[in-house]
Homo-oligomer: A and B are copies of this chain.
Amino acid sequence: MGNASQSVKTKKAPEIMEASKPDTATRIQDVAERLFVEHGFEATSLRMITQQAEVNLAAVNYHFGSKDALFESVFMRRLAPLISGCLAELDELEQQGGKLEVEDLVKTFIRPCLALSKDPSRGGALFVRLLSRTLVENHRQLREVISQQYSVFVQRYSVAFQKALPELGTEELAWRMHFAFSVMFNAFAGNDVLKIFVRSQVVSARDPDMIVKHLVPFVVAGLTSPA
């Protein structure tokens, strides 16, 4: 096993939980995630990754098949749980009946993002930043995979928001959702447009709870503003 590119890694967990370092493949993923976020896909060389992960250069191609496949693996490892988390919250909200409130709907998306951001064992805010990079770089094949597997995500939210905002036309709603998710993603990713213009790095408070506190009212106001 290994050099086949389809292997996603199914190793036995070490029985006696060693406090030291994880799996080779996992170590590669962890370092790669950080470096891809920091420098982008192209600017991150396999040598940087393998050196920091303290594994042999050939290990990447052995375990993942290629640099592209490594990226996809790193990406999907985080995306799947995040999407599931959102859809689970959405399920719960819809099943408890009653009128769908925009704020609650927004929170079904924000809460899993917030939870992820605060969980170092899942890379913290790294993945949201990776996602925002991936949005802007265009890894065609990855987009293919994502849209094949997760188009339901957008559909579910579209339907839900339509119910919560029945007075809006589908087009108007599409625009507002576009804007809303755009703010939310970039907020969690920490992409501050204004930061590029000012010297001080102090501005970025970075506390995820603070983000949410200010983010929710802003987004809800935008979504619910009179047509």
Interface residues in chain A, defined as those with a beta carbon under 8 Å from any beta carbon in chain B = 39-43, 132-137, 143, 146-148, 150-151, 153-154, 172, 174-179, 181-183, 185-187, 191-194, 196-199, 203, 214-215, 217-225
Contacts and interface: CB of A to CB of B under 8 A. Distances in A.
Contacts of A220: 225
A7 B117 CA distance: 45
B197 A193 contact: no
Contact of A146 (B148, B153, B175, B196): B196
A185 to B, nearest CB: 5
Contacts of A150: 197
Interface residues of chain A: helix, strand, loop or mixed (majority)? helix
Given A214-B172, A218-B179, A222-B221, A197 B147 contact: yes
Contacts of A43: 41-42, 137
21 contacts: A40-B137, A41-B43, A136-B136, A136-B191, A143-B196, A151-B198, A153-B197, A175-B215, A176-B214, A178-B187, A179-B214, A179-B215, A179-B218, A179-B219, A182-B191, A182-B193, A185-B193, A217-B225, A218-B222, A219-B222, A221-B222
Given A136-B136, A146-B196, A147-B198, 15 more contacts: A40-B40, A40-B137, A134-B196, A146-B197, A154-B194, A174-B203, A177-B194, A179-B183, A182-B186, A182-B187, A182-B193, A217-B225, A219-B222, A220-B225, A221-B222
A192 B178 contact: yes
Contacts of A40: 40, 42, 137
A215 to B, nearest CB: 7
